[in-house]
Amino acid sequence: MERLRDWVRAHHNLLVLLGLTLVIYAAALNRVQALPWGIAALLTATLITGLLWPHWLVRRLSVVRKGPDRAEEGETIVFQVEVANRGWLPRFMVELVDRLPFVGAALGEVGRGDKVLGVISYVPGSARRRFDMPLLCEKRGFYELGPVGLASSFPLGLVEAKLRRNDGVQTLTIYPDVFNIVSLPLRGAPSQIHRGGYLLPEGSGAAEFSGLREYRRGDNPRHIHWPTTARTNELMVKEFEPLASACLHIALDLDAAANLGAGRHATLEYALRIAGSIARYATSTGLRVRVSGERRFPVHIPSCTGELQYRAILDELAVVDADGALPYSYLLSRLASQVQAGETVVVFLSGPSERDEQLMQALSLLRARRAHLYAVLFERDTFLPGKVSHGGTPDTAALHGGLLDLGAHCVPVRMGDDLVRLFNP
């Protein structure tokens, strides 16, 4: 029934003209005057023209859309659209119609039908028209575009003729809006760095001398302290406390119950922007980084570094969603059995307060395995409707204190915070 009402609404003008034509013909049959027949013939010609002309206007036309297949949130991209008229006669008053689901995505309007991008007033015969179409990338995601097409209801708006084409860009990946991080307070893994497993990244800090110990199999010979070795007649090596982390593990909380807020101001969106920014810092400074997350399709990006690793992480962050059902503590407990001594684990804390006790147990297990914690603590109350941020909230005070007791570096985040300033104090 709803579909029938939509059809009637879309063809209202056609039905009115058709009804009027039938009434005039009925009146002409009962009269011998020529005027009613002339009016009926005029209405019939108008009806035929209104039905056939739109289809003729879009015939022999083709359209192609070209543009980037990757972008970043908040970026304005430009699609190039070319309309070609392969007929001899000109075409005019043709609408350009495209399916662009990322337009309006920030307001939750993904996939809500076609977008009319403009009207082409005139295309000469055997000619082409090219123009640029700037569009704002509102929300991260992977979008299937098109098909791009042409439509016309000229001149009377009785029917709309459409022409669809699948030429041009068919997908668009929009990455989270990452920001620059100048430095991170990371600590390292002495057992790996000093045995040649990893090199300290340039620009990420240095290592400080902390003492001497006896040489053990696998130690780097360059760290032997020869004066002490000569005095004691035993090989002695220097120990260091590195200021830069040799490896980084980003653990995403993809539990649906932990995602507070809506749209771009949801905790998941903040977490993904922060995770992408940390990944860019790590890969650009030579740090090995890996990513994990529990959801319907688990996230697991093995440890690596470099530009390709950064792109792989961005591709995952663009499409990941909070559709998991397992508590965050489950993921952290599993990571504790895999973590390397001295590895820095980045955690994002926004789950329900009733799970804080389990969460602290999992974090304590990570610390017991000699992992360092870098905690992004979302002040949950500020992401709920009607709440305003005015500093620390009682809702996260106990959790914040527990993190400090574990020696974690903690960054509280409130809705509306400037992340650039927050992570570059």
Residue boundaries of the structural domains of the chain: 2-58, 61-175, 207-242, 247-422
CB atoms inside a 10 Å sphere around CB 276 = 25
By the 10 Å C-beta count (0-12 exposed, 13-18 middle, 19+ buried), 106 is classed as: middle
* pLDDT tens for the chain, residues 1 to 425: 677 777 667 777 778 878 888 888 888 787 777 888 888 888 888 888 888 888 888 888 988 888 899 999 989 999 988 899 998 999 988 988 888 888 877 665 555 557 777 888 889 999 998 888 898 998 899 998 888 888 888 888 888 888 887 666 788 999 999 999 988 877 654 444 444 344 444 333 445 566 788 888 878 888 888 888 888 888 888 876 554 446 899 999 999 999 999 888 899 999 999 999 999 998 988 888 999 999 888 999 999 989 999 999 999 999 999 999 899 999 999 999 888 877 899 999 999 989 999 999 999 999 998 888 999 999 988 998 765 444 445 568 889 999 999 999 999 999 999 999 999 98
The per-residue pLDDT for 207 is 55
- Tell me if 321 sits within 8 A of 259, measured CB to CB: no
Q: Which two tokens stand for residue 128?
A: 């082409």
* CA distance linking residue 152 with residue 92, whole number of Å: 9
- Tell me if 242 sits within 8 A of 339, measured CB to CB: no
Residue 321 DSSP label: -
The per-residue pLDDT for 297 is 86
The per-residue pLDDT for 373 is 93
* CA distance linking residue 415 with residue 25, whole number of Å: 68
Angle, vertex CA 42, rays to CA 40 and CA 44, nearest 5: 70
* CA distance linking residue 48 with residue 405, whole number of Å: 82
The per-residue pLDDT for 17 is 78
The per-residue pLDDT for 240 is 67
* CA distance linking residue 399 with residue 186, whole number of Å: 21
* CA distance linking residue 180 with residue 220, whole number of Å: 35
- Tell me if 87 sits within 8 A of 51, measured CB to CB: no
* CA distance linking residue 236 with residue 288, whole number of Å: 30
- Provide the Cα torsion 119, 125, 128, 130; round to 10°: -20
* CA distance linking residue 272 with residue 257, whole number of Å: 16
CB atoms inside a 10 Å sphere around CB 214 = 10
- Tell me if 263 sits within 8 A of 107, measured CB to CB: yes
CATH placement of domain 61-175: 2.60.40.10
Domain 247-422 = CATH 3.40.50.410: yes
pLDDT tens figures, 219-273: 888 888 888 888 888 888 887 655 444 689 999 999 999 999 988 889 999 999 9
* CA distance linking residue 191 with residue 176, whole number of Å: 35
pLDDT tens figures, 147-166: 888 888 888 888 888 888 76
pTM (global) more than 0.85: no
